[in-house]
Amino acid sequence: MRSFALLLLRLLTAQQAVAQTTPPVVISGRHMPTHDIGRFTEFYEDKSGDTLPLATIQKQHFLPFAQKRNERTTNADQSLLVTWLRFRIRNANSTDTLRLFYDCWQGAVIKYYENNHLLAVGGHAVPRRNGSPNTSSVLLRIPAGQTYTYYVQTVSYIMGVLPTVSLIHTPEEAYKNTLENAYLEAPLLVGMAILTGCLLFMSLFAFYYYRLTGDKSYRYYGLYTFTGFYFALSAIDTRFGLDMLYLSSVALSPVSLSMFTLFYALFLDQLLSIRQRFPSLWSYLRVLLFILAIQQLMTLIEFVQGKLVFSDNTIYRYSLIPAGLITLLLFGALLRTKVPIKTYLVAGIASLLCITFLPMLLNGFLQNVPPESRYLSIILLFGDCWAYPSNRCVLPWLWPTGGGWSNWKTLPCT
């Protein structure tokens, strides 16, 4: 019995020793460049489907950071993505307190633990803390001669927009990088701001013209462009950490991306009289539109509850397939219809198809997208929104024939 107890004690001691084999980051000076501490970091991917407490995570087996999957280029089986990081930092200076910013890039909600105590909460869905250069950075203060242990929990949903990294910066380097990125991304901010303003103007004008004419086409077009305005504003808010739309549910949107297609389909139905001209096609569209409405209801439930309904990520990864099928059916109906602005409507449908399917293809097939591709979404959104085009749909009083959309709704099919 005594020998068994000694054996058990040795096994436990060996397990603790293995857990501490990753050496700490040793820093002796105050001036240092940005440093990737991946080789000093361990990770644990929590696949329990829940956010387990730190005490439970500390008992799990962590792996070397180099073995972690790239969240940007791979898909997870579960919709709730939880990754834990563990590392140690030793301040070898005998007099000065070490001040560093730690950054892991990825996470809607990020919790930082220092010596088993919660240090801070960050992430792109959480308001940026005062003094922090971005939403994913946290300031670490390590007294002289001390070694601190850190645990970092990153929580994301469905797919990772960026890979999880493990970086430390001096405060000077962190703020310098932030300023340089702000300068380089100025064209992106300007383009997104112009797009957002255009969408707001187009939606308000469509609602105003619907009130004047009672034409339902303007109502659905207004809802369509206002949905685009909401997503564009949300993208600016998240990308640049402006904290304009911080809501009680910190990571989940109340509006489903499929609402783009739902309002667009209703808009084209009014514009082309699809249910009268193509009754068999409309029967399929009606079923698919009902699916989109169910998706929106599910999105609202998730927003209120603050968590996803399904744990199987396949449901979310391919949730835009009904929207894509609707767009293809609308494209077929448009090709069989004679309308004065067919070219522009085709361009709009093509843009909508790209917006619909790109999120599903992004991780699995487009693994090495260059940074310049960030402007592609702006081009697609502009093409989609202005495809109707401005001199006929947005400003109908300039039409040579006058009367808005209703003048050519009864044109025969080809």
Instruction: Summarize pLDDT for 284-313 with one digit per residue, the tens.
Output: 999 999 999 999 999 999 988 888 999 988
Higher pLDDT, 252 or 285: 285
Phi and psi, residue 368, nearest 5° = -120, 55
Q: Cα Rg for the chain, rounded, in angstroms?
A: 26
- In sequence order, the 6+-apart residues with CB closer than 8 A to the CB of 294 are none
**Model confidence over 165-210: pLDDT tens digits?**
999 998 888 888 888 887 888 888 888 889 899 999 999 999 999 9
CA atoms within 13 A on the CB side of 64: 6
How high is the pLDDT of residue 33? 57
Instruction: Report in angstroms the alpha-carbon separations of 187 from 39, 181, 198, 375.
Output: 35, 11, 16, 9
Domain coordinates in residue numbering, the chain = 18-182, 185-408
Of 156, 128, 136, residue with least CA distance to 72: 156
**C-alpha to C-alpha distance for 348 and 383, rounded to whole angstroms:** 6
Query: One-letter amino acid identity for 225?
Result: T
When pLDDT is averaged across residues 231-250 and rounded to a whole number, the result is: 72
Give the least confident one: 134-143, 155-164, 294-303: 155-164
Across the chain, mean pLDDT equals 79
CA atoms within 13 A on the CB side of 133: 23
pLDDT band at 390 (very low <50, low <70, confident <90, very high): very low
Of 103, 101, 65, residue with least CA distance to 83: 65
How high is the pLDDT of residue 408? 39
Q: End-to-end CA distance of the chain, in Å?
A: 91
Put residue 310 in one of left, alpha, beta given phi > 0 → left and psi -120 to 50 → alpha. Answer: beta
Q: Tell me the CATH class for 18-182.
A: mainly beta
Instruction: Report in angstroms the alpha-carbon separations of 38 from 8, 24, 115, 159, 383.
Output: 33, 11, 19, 22, 41
How high is the pLDDT of residue 192? 86
pTM to 2 decimals? 0.78
| Strand pairing report for 80-91 and 42-46 | antiparallel
Q: Is the pLDDT of residue 358 over 70?
A: no
When pLDDT is averaged across residues 32-52 and rounded to a whole number, the result is: 87
pLDDT band at 121 (very low <50, low <70, confident <90, very high): very high
Q: What is the largest CA-CA distance in the chain?
A: 100
Q: Name residue, tokens 């685009």.
A: 228
Burial class (CB in 10 A: 0-12, 13-18, 19+), 222: buried
**C-alpha to C-alpha distance for 110 and 256, rounded to whole angstroms:** 24
Q: Strands (DSSP E) along 8-116, which ranges?
A: 25-27, 35-36, 42-46, 63-64, 80-91, 98-103, 109-114
- In sequence order, the 6+-apart residues with CB closer than 8 A to the CB of 106 are 71, 136, 154, 156, 160, 161, 162, 163, 164, 165
Which structure tokens are listed for 288?
């698919």
**Model confidence over 334-345: pLDDT tens digits?**
888 887 777 777
Q: Name residue, tokens 């979310």.
A: 316
How high is the pLDDT of residue 373? 47
**What is the CA angle 230-235-241, rounded to 5?**
120
| Residues 392/202, Cβ–Cβ less than 8 Å | no
When pLDDT is averaged across residues 318-347 and rounded to a whole number, the result is: 84
Which structure tokens are listed for 179?
């300023």
How high is the pLDDT of residue 6? 46
**Cα torsion at 235, 241, 244, 250 (round to 10°)?**
80
* DSSP secondary structure, 174-223, as one string: HHHHHHHHHHHTHHHHHHHHHHHHHHHHHHHHHHHHHHHH--HHHHHHHH
Continuous H helices in 241-366:
259-272, 274-277, 279-305, 313-317, 321-335, 342-365
Higher pLDDT, 250 or 12: 250
Higher pLDDT, 41 or 181: 41
* Positive or negative torsion for Cα 49, 54, 56, 60: positive
Of 106, 34, 94, 121, residue with least CA distance to 70: 106
How high is the pLDDT of residue 414? 34
When pLDDT is averaged across residues 40-49 and rounded to a whole number, the result is: 93
Within 10 Å of residue 54's Cβ, how many Cβ atoms? 14
Give the least confident one: 60-64, 204-208, 344-348, 383-387: 383-387
Which structure tokens are listed for 311?
């744990």
Higher pLDDT, 16 or 163: 163
How high is the pLDDT of residue 3? 53
Which structure tokens are listed for 114?
């220092």
